[in-house]
Amino acid sequence: GESVGLHLPTLSVQEGDNSIINCAYSNSASDYFIWYKQESGKGPQFIIDIRSNMDKRQGQRVTVLLNKTVKHLSLQIAATQPGDSAVYFCADLNNQGGKLIFGQGTELSVKP
Amino acid sequence: NAGVTQTPKFQVLKTGQSMTLQCAQDMNHEYMSWYRQDPGMGLRLIHYSVGAGITDQGEVPNGYNVSRSTTEDFPLRLLSAAPSQTSVYFCASRESSYNEQFFGPGTRLTVL
């Protein structure tokens, strides 16, 4: 079956450094990808999305890169802050837009 | 707008009991979904709906029923609760396929 998975379950970075969180997907027909942030005890919060006709999209301090050749997605956070500490999920939209399937998640820890 | 609301916030059931988790949104979104999240894991899709009167199964539908009689409401029913259904349940909605998905605050369910 399909899967959207992450390479690393945990990531620890120094405050001020850049963070890179990776995600692999298996369905070559997937055409929409989203990154979510989830803080402890809360629901996931949308960060940024990207359509499959794009390679890169930038937001405020965040950039998502999409490599369709190797079915790989990454989230880059610039100048990581303590408030960025959370679990980050990638999600993949398939089945003609109905199902939004989530990956396992990466826990980002920011050291002061 | 209240966004996506879920009730109750917490619930304890005994094995075999039934209950309904409520979800409502006031954003006139067509798409609604139910996910469960187990400790240290990602979100798994239970059921979803792309409009009133239309529902479909997600990744882990067994033991759960849904209906979508109105655009606003998407209740999740547990017919005969089992300890394996102990989890945090999130409801989510979005306007259409390629739009940001908003999550509710979650319902923490324990089945004894």
Report the distance separating Cα B10 and Cα B103, nearest Å: 17
| pLDDT computed for residue A7 by the predictor | 46
| pLDDT computed for residue A28 by the predictor | 83
The pair of three-digit structure tokens given for residue B91, joined into one six-digit string = 């409801």
A101 — contact with chain B (CB < 8 Å)? yes
| pLDDT computed for residue B55 by the predictor | 96
**Contact assignment for B101 to A51 by CB distance below 8 Å:** no
Minimum-distance CB partner of B98 among A32, A43, A44: A32
**Contact assignment for B97 to A93 by CB distance below 8 Å:** yes
Q: Which residues of B2-18 are buried (b: 16+ CB within 10 A; e: fewer)?
A: eebebeeeebebeeeee
pLDDT, one tens digit for every residue, chain A (112 residues): 344 554 458 899 999 999 999 999 888 888 899 999 999 889 999 999 999 999 999 999 999 999 999 999 999 999 999 999 999 999 988 766 678 888 889 999 999 8
A29 — contact with chain B (CB < 8 Å)? no
Fill in the amino acid letter for B40. Answer: G
Q: Enumerate residues 6+ apart whose C-beta is below 8 A from B46.
A: B33, B34, B35, B36, B58, B59, B60, B61, B64, B66, B76, B89
B2 — contact with chain A (CB < 8 Å)? no
| pLDDT computed for residue A5 by the predictor | 53
| pLDDT computed for residue B52 by the predictor | 95
Report the distance separating Cα A11 and Cα A107, nearest Å: 6
Q: How confident is the model at residue B61 (pLDDT cuts 50, 70, 90)?
A: very high
Average pLDDT of the segment spanning B36-52: 91
Q: Is B107's pLDDT higher than 90?
A: yes
Question: Chain B: nearest CA to A30, how far in angstroms?
Answer: 12
Average pLDDT of the segment spanning B50-64: 95
Average pLDDT of the segment spanning B66-72: 97
Minimum-distance CB partner of B43 among A44, A97, A98: A44
| pLDDT computed for residue A1 by the predictor | 34
Q: For B11-24, how does the pLDDT look when each residue is reduced to its tens digit (9 = 90+)?
A: 999 999 999 999 99
